[in-house]
């Protein structure tokens, strides 16, 4: 088996006001021609891992190889093999799309006419031909991400690193970007993708590693993870806390994990959504409980974390630790809502 | 685990290591690529271009027509002839702040992160920035020459001497650019980079012989005001542009000291900037 990317026991501690162990013995390997997803919340070490693998950051310990080449000892060679597109869309605001692509092509030391030709091809491929000669200031968020990705591809990298490529994008732009990434993999490019979205990892990656506090806490195929977790989350809202407590007990047997009661909301992950919904409604009816809301949704990263670690995702490593708890909670709820689009609300409330 | 080492097919020349010649060629081509990028950026923000051109013109008009009347130059040299060499040096010194802002901005926006993952020459981010400064300053000195002539500046020492003064200014500005590169690489963001630059810039440009004769300053200040880098460069330009009589020393006296400062800055600041660039994460 040939691995395009290998990380062995990577260690990195950032010293500063607070010491942060960004990487605490991270190991994984990515097969050539596949998409590997690094899944984790903010501050879990995803970006640090990518920075080490792309030669930007020197690890405190461990080794990393890209196509068999040590990223420390052969950094120059590794840089000719990889492409990097980041969550902050590292593009020059003042240049046009074409100029941005050409700049990266020139810095890759491609022949002049190859650079010009690649710019034309990439602008077409990413649907930016019309905007190609406009300054980036006029681009939307989705266009910027596409251009960032296009620039990363100019030298036809064998291994591509995508650090949260769709964070902050609207659903339509996210979908567009997913399609482009799928195309790339069809062409044989190896992709390492970091994401906070289970849905994204599920759609694009053939293998996943879940990161938490700089450690890999789970690794496998998306299917095996979902099987462990339960494929769907059943979410029932009740009129009173007392009803919620009783409902929690009733729903406990429906999925591989016990149900979670928070306030008047009860959540349980199940394998077969519609079947579980039917059984749940029947049991609740039998107990004389009438739910106020009833949803089936896809599991979010939060749910994965809950089942793997027993705690929800925490964002306390990137300066958000001092945030008041209510704000943190509100943000978490927003993030959950963003990640988990209801899949069957319509049918069930009918 | 077996892995195949693969070399990139699309890259010309040797992909890494390479010969000394290949590396040298890359340093030059990467520097030019980024110089071009930085210059394009200037033309893309017409407002910034407009106001950075207006600023020295305002200084000329302000000192020529508002403050100038109150400033008597020993030896009877017209104030405008005294002023213009000062304006040249002050303008390029202020302009160097854009290097610190630009680098801080590139760091902030993640552009340097991208550059670090590219097989480009490591120093090109800095040499591209400082080279763009030189090109910009060529335009600046041409504009100021025009403005100066329009308000009555009459260089009296000949074209060769005037050109020598311009070259001295460009060299000094280049040395300053590296200093402001260090500031830009040390600042957490571009706003701070700007704020950090002025406490260095103001004493250097105003506690100097750029706008007023140092003889009128308190005696304890005169030593610094006469021999600090900006002052000796202004005095050298003054000697080269309108004659050395008003400067109190020979042309070579000032020129050699200006060259000394520029060389010292370059020797100290280039390695410092490169070190800051390498260690900044």
Q: What is the pLDDT of residues B239-281, one digit of tens each?
A: 999 988 888 899 999 999 999 999 999 999 999 999 999 887 6
Q: Across the interface, do A114 and B119 touch by the CB < 8 Å criterion?
A: no
Interatomic CA distance for residues A56 and A71, integer angstroms: 9
Q: Is A67 on the interface with B (CB under 8 A)?
A: yes
Output the six-digit token pair for B50. 């407009």
Q: Which residues of A touch B124 (CB under 8 A)?
A: 107
Q: Is residue B275 in some structural domain?
A: yes
Pick from A72, A5, A74: which is nearest to B16 by CA? A74
Chain B: closest CA distance from residue A279 (Å)? 49
**Both tokens assigned to B272:** 């410092």
pLDDT score recorded for residue A89: 61
Distance CA A270, CA A255 (A): 4
- C-alpha pair distances (Å), B4 with each of A1, A34, B14: 10, 16, 18
Does the residue B189 lie in any domain? yes
Distance CA(B63)–CA(B123), nearest Å, equals 40
From CA A238, how far away is CA A231, in angstroms rounded? 23
**Average pLDDT for chain B:** 89
Nearest-angstrom CA–CA distance, A257 and A252? 8
Mean pLDDT of the residues in chain A: 84
Average pLDDT over residues A78-86: 92
**Helical H runs in chain A?**
46-53, 75-81, 97-107, 112-125, 141-152, 171-186, 198-204, 222-229, 241-251, 273-287, 301-309, 325-339, 345-349
- What pLDDT score was predicted for residue B49? 81
> Cα distance from B273 to chain A (closest Cα, Å)?
18
The CATH code for residues A231-298+320-349 is 3.30.70
CA angle at residue B192 from B190 to B194, to 5 degrees?
Answer: 70
Can you give the pLDDT at residue A350?
31
- Judged against a pLDDT cut of 90, whether residue B11 lies above it is answered with no
CA A58 to chain centre: 24
Q: Which residues contact B79 (CB under 8 A, 6 or more apart)?
A: B63, B64, B68, B69, B71, B73
Domain contains B12: no
pLDDT in tens, A166-206: 888 888 888 988 988 888 888 889 999 999 888 888 889 99
| Contact of A2 with A32, CB cutoff 8 Å | yes
Tell whether B8 is covered by a domain: no
Q: Give the rounded percent of residues in chain B with a pLDDT score beyond 70.
A: 93
What does each C-alpha distance from A299 to A67, A230, A330 come to in angstroms? 34, 8, 19
With beta carbons less than 8 A apart as the criterion, state whether B88 and B242 touch.
no
Q: Which residues of B touch A55 (CB under 8 A)?
A: 116-117
Coil, strand or helix at A65: strand
**Do the beta carbons of residue B116 and residue A86 sit within 8 Å?**
no
- Above pLDDT 90, what percent of chain A? 48
| pLDDT band of A1, cuts 50, 70, 90 | low
Nearest to A64 by CA among A30, A113, A114, A95: A30
Token duo for residue A310: 């027993």
> What is the pLDDT, as a whole number, of residue A312?
65
Predicted pLDDT of residue A311? 66
Q: What is the pTM of this model?
A: 0.81
Give the mean pLDDT of A65-85.
94
DSSP, res A90: -
pLDDT tens across B44-70, in order? 988 888 888 898 999 999 999 999 888
- How high is the pLDDT of residue A291? 92
Distance from CA of B135 to the nearest CA of A (A): 18
CB A294, CB A347: distance < 8 Å: no
> For residues B171 and B96, what is the distance between their CA atoms, to the nearest angstrom?
12
Neighbours of B195 (CB within 10 A): 11
Can you count the helices (H) and strands (E) in chain A? Answer: 13, 14
Cα B41 to Cα B103: distance, rounded to the nearest angstrom: 13
* Listed residue (B113, B84, B119) closest to B242, CA to CA: B84
Based on the structure, what is the number of domains in chain B? 1
Shortest distance, CA B179 to any CA of chain A (angstroms): 24
Stretch A229-246: mean pLDDT, rounded?
87
CB A163 within 8 A of CB A156: no
Task: Judge whether A89 is closer than 8 Å to chain B, CB to CB.
Answer: yes
Query: Judged by CB atoms within 8 Å, which residues 19-38 of A form the interface with B?
Result: 29
Q: What is the pLDDT of residue B219?
A: 93
Domain-wise residue ranges, chain A: 3-226, 231-298+320-349
CA A191, CA A34: separation in Å to the nearest integer? 6
pLDDT in tens, B171-186: 999 999 999 999 999 9
Question: Which residue of A68, A93, A109, A110 to mutate against B (max B Cβ within 10 Å)?
Answer: A109
Say what the alpha-carbon torsion angle B154, B156, B159, B161 is, to the nearest 10 degrees: -120
Tell me the C-alpha distance between B235 and B241, whole Å: 10
Give residue B204's domain range. 20-279
CB atoms within 10 A of CB B198: 12
* Dihedral Cα A53, A175, A211, A14, nearest 10 deg: 50
Question: How far, in Å, CA of B53 to CA of B94, rounded?
Answer: 12
| pLDDT of B236 strictly over 70 | yes
Q: What share of chain A is helix, strand, coil (3-state, %, to 5)?
A: 40, 25, 35
Give the residue from chain A lying closest to B110, CA to CA.
A90
pLDDT band at A314 (very low <50, low <70, confident <90, very high): low
* Residues in chain A closer than 8 A to B41 (CB atoms): 92, 94-95
How far apart CA B229 and CA B96 sit, in angstroms, is 15
pLDDT value for A321: 37
φ, ψ of residue B250 in degrees (nearest 5) = -75, 160
**DSSP string computed for chain B:** -B------SSSSS-SSS--HHHHHHHHHHHHHHHHHHHHHHHHH-HHHHHHHHHHHHHHHHIIIIIIGGG-PPTT---HHHHHHHHHHHHHHHHHTHHHHHHHHHHHHTTHHHHHHTSSS-TTHHHHHHHHHHHHHHHHHHHHHHHHHHHTT----S-HHHHHHHHHHHHHHHHHHHHHHHHHHHHSSSHHHHHHHHHHHHHHHHHSSTTTS-GGGS-HHHHHHHHHSHHHHHHHHHHHHHH-SGGGSS-HHHHHHHHHHHHHHHHHHHHHHHHHHHHH--
Nearest Cβ partner of B15 from A1, A77, A93?
A: A77
CB-based contact A221:A208 (threshold 8 Å): yes
Helix (H, G, I), strand (E, B) or coil at A34: coil
User: A3-226, what's its fold?
Assistant: Rossmann fold (3.40.50)
């Amino acid at each position: 088996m040939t691995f395009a990317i290998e990380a062995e026991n990577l260690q990195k501690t950032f010293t500063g006001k607070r010491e942060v162990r960004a990487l605490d013995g991270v190991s994984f390997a990515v097969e050539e021609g596949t998409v590997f997803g690094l899944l984790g919340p903010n501050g879990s070490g995803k970006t640090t891992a990518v920075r080490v693998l792309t030669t930007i950051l020197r690890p405190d310990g461990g080794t990393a190889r890209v196509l068999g080449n040590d990223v420390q000892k052969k950094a120059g060679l590794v840089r000719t093999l990889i492409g990097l597109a980041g969550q902050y869309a590292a593009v020059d605001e003042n240049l046009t799309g074409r100029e941005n692509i050409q700049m990266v092509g020139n810095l890759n030391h491609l022949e002049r006419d190859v650079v010009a030709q690649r710019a034309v091809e990439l602008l077409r491929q990413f649907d930016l031909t019309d905007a190609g000669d406009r300054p980036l200031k006029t681009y939307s968020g989705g266009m910027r991400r596409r251009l960032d990705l296009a620039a990363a591809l100019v030298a036809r990298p064998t291994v591509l690193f995508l650090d949260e490529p769709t964070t902050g994008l609207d659903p339509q732009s996210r979908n567009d970007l997913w399609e482009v990434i799928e195309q790339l993999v069809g062409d044989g490019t190896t992709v390492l993708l970091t994401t906070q979205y289970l849905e994204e990892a599920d759609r694009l990656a053939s293998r996943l590693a879940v990161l938490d506090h700089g450690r890999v806490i789970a690794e496998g195929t998306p299917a095996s993870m979902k099987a462990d977790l339960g494929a769907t989350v059943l979410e029932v809202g009740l009129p009173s806390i007392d009803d919620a407590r009783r409902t929690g007990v009733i729903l406990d047997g429906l999925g591989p994990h016990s149900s979670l009661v928070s306030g008047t909301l009860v959540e349980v992950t199940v394998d077969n959504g519609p079947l579980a919904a039917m059984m749940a409604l029947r049991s609740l009816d039998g107990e004389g409980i009438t739910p106020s809301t009833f949803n089936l949704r896809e599991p979010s990263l939060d749910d994965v974390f809950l089942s793997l670690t027993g705690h929800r995702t925490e964002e306390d490593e990137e300066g958000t630790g001092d945030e008041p708890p209510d704000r943190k909670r509100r943000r978490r709820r927003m993030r959950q809502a963003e990640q988990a689009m209801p899949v069957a609300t319509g049918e069930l409330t009918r | 685990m077996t892995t195949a080492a693969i070399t990139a097919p699309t890259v010309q020349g040797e992909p890494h290591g390479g010969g000394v010649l290949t590396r040298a060629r890359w340093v030059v081509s990467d520097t030019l690529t980024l110089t071009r990028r930085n210059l394009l950026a200037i033309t893309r923000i017409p407002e910034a271009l407009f106001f950075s051109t207006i600023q020295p013109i305002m200084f000329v008009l302000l000192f020529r027509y508002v403050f100038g009347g109150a400033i008597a130059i020993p030896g009877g040299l017209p104030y405008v002839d005294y002023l213009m060499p000062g304006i040249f040096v002050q303008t390029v010194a202020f302009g160097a702040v854009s290097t610190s802002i630009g680098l801080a901005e590139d760091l902030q926006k993640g552009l340097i992160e991208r550059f670090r993952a590219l097989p480009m020459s490591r120093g090109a981010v800095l040499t591209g920035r400082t080279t763009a400064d030189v090109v910009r300053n060529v335009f600046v000195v041409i504009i100021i020459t025009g403005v100066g002539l329009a308000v009555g500046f009459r260089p009296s020492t000949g074209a060769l001497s005037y050109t020598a003064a311009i070259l001295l200014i460009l060299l000094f500005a280049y040395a300053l650019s590296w200093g402001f590169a260090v500031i830009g690489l040390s600042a957490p963001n571009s706003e701070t980079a700007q704020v950090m630059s002025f406490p260095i810039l103001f004493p250097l440009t105003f506690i100097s012989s750029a706008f007023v004769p140092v003889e009128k300053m308190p005696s304890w200040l005169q030593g610094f005001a006469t021999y600090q880098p900006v002052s000796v460069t202004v005095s050298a330009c003054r000697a080269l542009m309108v004659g050395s009589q008003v400067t109190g020393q020979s042309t070579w006296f000032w020129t050699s000291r200006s060259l000394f400062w520029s060389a010292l800055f370059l020797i100290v600041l280039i390695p410092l900037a490169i070190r800051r660039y390498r260690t900044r994460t």
